[in-house]
Structures are given as structure tokens and as C-alpha cells.
Amino acid sequence: MLAGDPIIQVTDLVKEYRGGLRAVDGVSFSVQRGEIFGFLGPNGAGKTTTIMVLISLLRPTAGRAVVCGHDVAREPDRVRSRIGYVSQDIAVDDALTGEQNLFLQGRLYHLDRETIARRMAEVLAMVDLTDRAGDLVLTYSGGMRKRLDIAEGLIHRPDILFLDEPTLGLDIQTRRRIWDYIRLLRAREGVTVFMTTHYMEEADQLCDRVAIIDHGRIVALGSPAELKAAIGGDLLTLDIAAGDGHAAGDLVGLLRTVPGTKQAFRADDGRWVLVAGHGEEAAPAVLEVLGAHGLRVRSLAMKKPTLDDVFLHYTGRELRRSEGSDDFGRMRMGLRRARMG
């Protein structure tokens, strides 16, 4: 592999499960060495399936993926020795200490005792677990377990770390700390990070570039700033009192006459959304236009676009809606497991 080559190169990748479901439906992208690259999409979009193909645990149905210079289908062992993988479920063993977990992981990669001891000290320091390394994982918080999981993925000094939903179900403070660790390990280890998330804020804060994925396809790809700029301006959200004799189509037409408006549509929740280059100028103008037609505005909010708006822009649906339900489902699963155990 040459110095300037991308460290991950994916071309027209397809993964079809038995039964015919196309979880990954022809995706192409590349990741540069040292990037934090994010796959952002709702539950079921095909994020985990993509990771499983890239780490060579699932065979592609069609297309090609080259990771660290090796074709994942033809040289899976070479790929596996160069990458670390942290699954979306916590994989550490509760009945062992943090150190014991790391030791086993090191043996799995055929590292000798000395190398493991040295690496263990380094990765434990990196995720801030040195003081607790001798304690049973049973006594760790959710955030500490996830950090230990990440440390395990790093023990053999991989070129790429694959993180599948690294902060799923964690509270916001813990999530922010995990983000700090991910940034730190990129800075210290120079490791390339490929991560998935359904938290738009996480992708926005952490990733150099983001691919937005929906139904197995990439709908947008770029830096968070580029993606948000593509929306074309600020978003004005309006709650308009139902005026007599104004059909929805009429209102869209009317909103489009507001100077500076690039787009107008009705959101799922019944409010109206207007995209304008300069929100500060469009806000008084829209009130004027609607007022002149006898329409009353109950509320008006202006904001800069988020990645959720980018998702809405390309798919017509909101990403945010899927967040809570997914975590809730996992929480219930966890409770059920706890009860059974």
C-alpha cells in the first residue's frame, strides 16, 4: 500500500442477507489515514453490516473493500491483524479484572507477556483506568466498561479502530468523555477511526467526515460543516394558526415568495419550515407576508442547520425520532437479561 493511498477503499459494496434483504446496497467511499470517519444513520440503516464486512467477519455479496491494502474477501487474516474492533455490545467479562480482560485479548493476538504488560499500561492510561485495573469489571460503571472495551481494541496497536456505536445508551456526560478518549487516541496513536453512530451530535462533534446512511445507501458524504452548508442557509420553523381557506399548497407557495427563501415545506409535526440564506432578514419578512394574508404566526424559531436537518433534507424523515426508541429497546433488553441472570 502506498503512502498516499486511502486506508479504507470501498467500491460498490453490497451485502444481502439470506432471504434477500439488502442491508448494504451499493456503497462507495474511502477513508484517509488518521481520519475519524463516521457512518451516521438510523437503526437498521446497515451500519453494523458494513462494519462486519470491513472487518472480514461477513463476506460481501458484491463489490469490493480494501482495508490496510488487503482485500477483505481474499485476505481476511491480514485485515484482522491490522484492525481493532469494538462491537456495539459491551464484550468485556464481568467476572475478570480489567487487567485480566486485557491480558486475554493480548493473547488472542498472540502477543508475548512482555509486550502485553507494556501495552496494557499504555492503553489503561489512555482510557483512564489505571487505578481500577485490578478490580473486577463487575464493579465498573457503564462508561468504564466501554472504555475497557476500547482499550481491548487497541492492545495490539491496530492501524484502524472500528467502533460500532461507541456511546450507545450512555448518558451525555459519559458520552462526551468517550469522545475525548477517541480524539486522544487518534492524536497519541495516530490510529484511524471508523465509527458508526445514530447520534447526530456525536457525528457532528467527533468526525472529520461523515457518510449519512439510510436503507443501505449513502445519501450524503462530507465534513459536518460541508453537509450543513449544503442545506443552503438558516432554518425558520413556523407554527401558523390554521387560516380559513388556505390549503397547504397555497401556504408553501406563499412562503416561497418571502425574499431570500430557498425552500419551504411542511414538516411531519405540522409546522412549516423555511430555508433562507439569512434567517435574520427572512424572519421579519415572513411575518409581514403572512400578516398581509391574514395569517397569524403562533411561534417562530430560527436555527442553524444540524446533521438532523441534513438527514431530513435527503430522506424526508427525521433522524432524531429513531434515537429514543432504540435506546429504550436496549434498556428493556438489559433489564430482561438482568432479571434472567
Ligand X SMILES: Nc1ncnc2c1ncn2[C@@H]1O[C@H](COP(=O)(O)OP(=O)(O)O)[C@@H](O)[C@H]1O
Asked whether the beta carbons of 138 and 161 are under 8 A apart, the reply is: no
Distance in Å, CB of 91 to ligand X, minimum: 16
CB of residue 164 to ligand X, shortest distance in Å: 7
Helix 98-108 vs helix 113-126: crossing angle, to nearest 10: 130
Q: C-beta of 44: minimal distance to ligand X in Å?
A: 4
Size of site (CB under 6 A) for ligand X: 11
Q: Are 228 and 307 in contact (CB under 8 A)?
A: yes
Contact 24, 218 (CB under 8 A): no
Question: What is the rounded CA–CA span in Å between residue 225 and residue 316?
Answer: 20
Residue 169 binding result from Mg ion, ligand X, none, given CB thresholds of 5 to 8 Å by partner type: none
What lies within 8 Å, CB to CB, of 283 at 6+ separation is 236, 300, 302
17 is in the binding site of which of Mg ion, ligand X, none (Cβ under 5 to 8 A by kind)?
ligand X
How far is CA 156 from its chain centroid?
25
Closer of 286 and 310 to ligand X (Cβ): 310
Nearer to ligand X, 46 or 279 (CB): 46
Q: Which CB sits closer to Mg ion, 89 or 226?
A: 89
> Per-residue x/- mask for ligand X, residues 9 to 48, rule CB under 6 A?
--------x---x-x-----------------x-xxxxxx
Q: How far apart are CA 266 and CA 261, in angstroms?
A: 14
Q: By CB under 6 A, tell whether 187 contacts ligand X.
A: no
Among ligand X, Mg ion, none, partner that 166 touches (CB below 5 to 8 angstroms by kind): none
Query: Where does this chain bind Mg ion (CB under 5 A)?
Result: 47-48
Q: State the Cα–Cα distance between residues 56 and 76, nearest whole angstrom.
A: 5
Residue of minimal CB distance from Mg ion? 48
* DSSP structure class, residue 24: E
Contact 147, 184 (CB under 8 A): no
For the CB of residue 255, give the shortest distance to ligand X in the complex, in Å.
34
Residue ranges in 46-85 that form contacts with ligand X under rule CB under 6 A: 46-49
Give which of Mg ion, ligand X, none residue 45 binds (C-beta under 5 to 8 Å, depending on kind): ligand X
Nearer to Mg ion, 47 or 209 (CB): 47
In 3-state terms, what secondary structure has residue 219?
strand
CB of 127 to ligand X, least distance (A): 24
Cβ count near 248 (within 10 Å): 11
* Contacts to ligand X by CB under 6 A: 17, 21, 23, 41, 43-49
